[in-house]
Amino acid sequence: MYPLLRYVIISGIKGDEKMQIVYAHTDSLYVPVPSIEKALEVREVLNDHIQENVFPNIMGLENHPMDLEFEKYYSVLGVGATKNRNAGFISWKDGVYLHEPEFFATGFSLKRIAESKIAKETQKEVIEMWVKQKTQDEITERVRDIFTQVLEGRVEKLDLVKRSRYKDERKHLKCRCKRKYDLEYVRKLLRIVPDALCENDNCNARLTDLTTLEGKRPSFGGGFAGVLYYNEHVKPEDKIDDSFYHLKCKFNGIVQPNTFTNVKGEMKHATYIAVKNLNELENYEPDWPSLAESEVLRKAKPIYDAMGWDINEIRKDRKQRDLDEWF
């Protein structure tokens, strides 16, 4: 499809006028035009060319089956080198002029509820600077400022908290004989009997070999590791079984053990805490260096990858940068 439409774009315009495709995805093409009026004119010319010369209506249908639409006009569009990552400001959509340009971004995690406030705000700010054609140095300086604030613990703890759900499929495991087990029951049993076998009479599989209901190896990292810790040590009488908040943290000064039992009955070092209510996080200190990496650098990385920039420049402090520039 793309070569054909590229041909139409280049050769279908009257006169010597040519237009370059800057981005294409599925059934959409993005081309630079100076105005909305010009875009409407281009659409009409292209449809005439396609319907008369490329796909003539040989069946005599009332409405031609091939019709290009002019859906949106972007006052600014940033297209990255990485597939399906772009952002910009829409000033005209579906035949209507917008009073205020509408910001949009695809291929990023701006709208994910599970992301922390700082992660979403950082990525949104970086993307907006990018589409406004700020320089790499300007964007890097801003991200470095946010990175340093988190690294030094100069942000609100709650702005780093993520939210998730303990879904039903994670609460159960299954044996190769198809018998299902409750996750908490398996963890409790393996702490007492590490070599416990399946309870079906004709099955001798180890419970440490259980899989998820989808048949995958069970993995409980990040916030779900925090859930296991909470259910084992913090409130075993009132376990997390639905939505929860989680944070990567240090366990300095915490009364409970800083280990938890994984789904194989093994003791693991706890690095995440999950809670039902935000006020339960009061005594936990965030792991600032790790969070600076995950909530700031990783959220800026899609833009840096799209533009071919070096994300490591953000980690450099002023002295190191000045020295690099001097050399």
pLDDT (tens place) for every residue of the chain, 327 residues total: 233 343 344 444 444 466 777 777 777 778 888 888 888 888 888 888 878 887 777 777 777 777 778 888 888 777 765 566 677 788 888 888 888 878 777 766 555 667 899 998 998 898 888 878 889 999 999 999 999 999 999 999 999 999 999 888 888 999 999 999 999 899 889 988 989 999 998 898 999 999 999 999 888 788 999 998 999 889 999 999 999 999 999 887 777 777 777 777 788 888 999 999 999 999 999 999 999 999 999 989 888 887 789 999 999 875 555 545 544
**pTM higher than 0.85:** no
Closest residue by Cα to residue 43 from 60, 53, 31: 31
Dihedral sign (CA 201, 205, 211, 216): negative
pLDDT of residue 6: 39
One-letter amino acid identity for 266? E
Closest residue by Cα to residue 206 from 225, 181, 228, 229: 181
For residue 105, how far is the Cα from the chain centroid? 12
pLDDT of residue 7: 38
The HSE-up count of residue 196 (CA atoms within 13 Å, CB side) is 21
pLDDT of residue 113: 66
pLDDT of residue 18: 67
Render the burial of 160-178: b for 16+ CB within 10 Å, e for the rest.
Answer: bbbebebeeebebbebeee
Residues in the chain, overall count: 327
- Would you say 161 and 247 are in contact if contact means Cβ atoms under 8 Å apart? yes
User: Torsions phi, psi of 226, nearest 5?
Assistant: -65, -35
Closest residue by Cα to residue 251 from 221, 232, 273, 267: 273
pLDDT of residue 108: 64
d(C-alpha 211, C-alpha 203), whole Å: 15
Two structure tokens written together for 133: 């054609």
pLDDT of residue 290: 96
pLDDT of residue 110: 57
d(C-alpha 79, C-alpha 66), whole Å: 27
